[in-house]
Amino acid sequence: MPILTTGAIDSHVQLMGEGSPVVLIHGLLLGSLAGWYFHTGPALSPNHRVILYDLRGHGRSERLASGYDLVTLAEDLGSVLEATRASGPVDLVGHSYGGLVALRFALDHPARVERLVLVDVPLPPSSMSEMKGLEQSGANGLLEALPSGLRDAIVGGGRRARRFLEGIDFLVNRSSLLTDLAAEQDIPDEALSALECPTLLVFGQTSSCAAVGDRLAAVLPRARLQTLPGGHFLPMEVPELLTRAIVEFLDG
Amino acid sequence: MTAASAEILETLAGLIRQVIGEDWADDIDIGMETSFADDLELESIEFVQLAELLQNHYGKDVNFVSWLSKMQLDSIIGLKVGQVVEFVAQCQS
């Protein structure tokens, strides 16, 4: 099932495996469901129905000019759950802003979320230094935040670089993504402390978000913090280690 | 190359052309040594699309995603068309 009508938009959705539902959510700009598709998805598929989707404007989902705030993106997640007929509480796994989408959804619909895995999420949402690079020097600034080995895999060559820059150009210059991101407020500790579901926090040792892991571990009632060697882009930097941490938490 | 492998290569090349678009694919001769990353410049999201097309074409016996999931990232990036042909041939034998 590649392209599904989810709510009012066309979303690229992929399903793997059978069992209790897990949704994997990627981060903004550089991300797509491909970031979860080759490691984490297959590793969870023996015990779970794994639902992967591209956020609006990303991957093969519809390129929409607006709606990149967390409330709208969490509504999109609800529409994906509806379209894939995922009934009952689900496990949500999200990287970066995708993790904040999961967190927003869990805060708005606590009964619908079984467990949460938040991978290197920024808080306040607008605080990521990787994004500041983007605002200052465009797509190149964003790429500089990546480990050099990954840069080639994303933008090496002519065709791939062109497609990548087209995608970034749309999101940065022709959508409200950066404005929405900048306007996003911090989630107060009182709201976070009401979140009852078991939560795994996975953060990169050298990430600019590392302190957020400590804050969430202190505030969330049922959270455990695990640190991995790497920066902000853990799904690309250490896919095997990240996958192992997620599988141990959800299946261990 | 066996007749079976030649047939798989032809099928796979057709699926790759669907993913990357005829305009670009016209300039490239897709053979066993063609690299997905260097020659075809496939994006990771296009790899997902190719996996889906392979699954639709060959059915559940050819589990491309499960095969890839056992590889390190470097190996996936360095993957050549011929390796996928051999993988499909093994699944069918």
Look over chain B and give the mean of its residue pLDDT values, rounded to a whole number: 89
A96-100, B72-76, B84-88: least confidently modelled range:
B72-76
Classify residue A60 as exposed, middle or buried by CB count within 10 Å of its CB (0-12, 13-18, 19+).
Answer: buried
Q: How confident is the model at residue A142 (pLDDT cuts 50, 70, 90)?
A: low
Give residue A252's pLDDT: 87
Answer whether B49 sits within 8 Å of A153, measured CB to CB: no
For chain A, how many residues are written? 252
Q: Looking at the predicted structure, is the pLDDT value of residue A82 above 70?
A: yes
A132 touches chain B (CB under 8 A): no
Nearest C-alpha of chain A: how many angstroms from B62? 14
Q: In this complex, is the C-beta atom of A60 within 8 Å of any C-beta atom belonging to chain B? A: yes
Q: Could you tell me the strand order of the sheet in which A90-95 lies?
A: A3-6, A9-16, A48-53, A20-25, A90-95, A113-119, A199-204, A223-228
CB distance A33–B45 less than 8 Å? yes
Task: Name the band, by pLDDT with cuts 50, 70 and 90, for residue A121.
Answer: very high
| pLDDT at residue B22 tops 90 | no
Compute the distance between CA of residue A223 and CA of residue A233 in angstroms, rounded to an integer: 21
User: For residue A194, is pLDDT > 80?
Assistant: yes
| C-beta atoms of B44 and A16 within 8 A | no
Query: How close B32 gets to chain A, by Cα (Å)?
Result: 20
Query: Hey, are the CB atoms on B65 and A164 less than 8 Å from each other?
Result: no
Compute CA distances A210 → A5, A96, A122, A148, B38, whole Å. Answer: 36, 12, 9, 21, 34
- Minimum CA–CA partner of A35 in chain B: B44
Å between A78 CA and nearest CA of chain B: 23
Q: Chain A residues with CB inside 8 Å of B76's CB?
A: 38
The answer to whether the bond into A229 is cis (omega within 30° of 0) is: no
Contacts with B35 from chain A: Cβ below 8 Å: none
Q: Across the interface, do A41 and B48 touch by the CB < 8 Å criterion?
A: no
CATH of the domain at B31: 1.10.1200
Q: Distance between CA A62 and CA A59 in Å, rounded?
A: 9
Number of domains making up chain B: 1
pLDDT tens track for A154-190: 766 678 888 888 888 899 889 999 999 989 999 999 9
What is the phi/psi pair of residue A52, to 5°?
A: -115, 140
Q: pLDDT tens, B66-82? A: 898 888 777 887 899 99
CB contact under 8 A, A42 and B66: yes
Tell me if B44 and A32 make a contact (CB, 8 A cut-off): yes
**Shortest CA gap B93–chain A (Å):** 24
Q: Which chain A residues are Cβ-neighbours of B15 within 8 angstroms?
A: none
Q: What is the pLDDT of residues A213-238, one digit of tens each?
A: 999 999 999 999 999 999 999 998 99
Give the pLDDT band of residue A136 (cuts 50, 70, 90). Answer: low
Kindly provide the ipTM of the predicted complex, given to two decimals: 0.88
Min Cα distance A39 → chain B (Å) is: 5
Domain enclosing residue B70, as ranges: 3-92
Superfamily of domain A3-128+185-251: Alpha/Beta hydrolase fold, catalytic domain (3.40.50.1820)
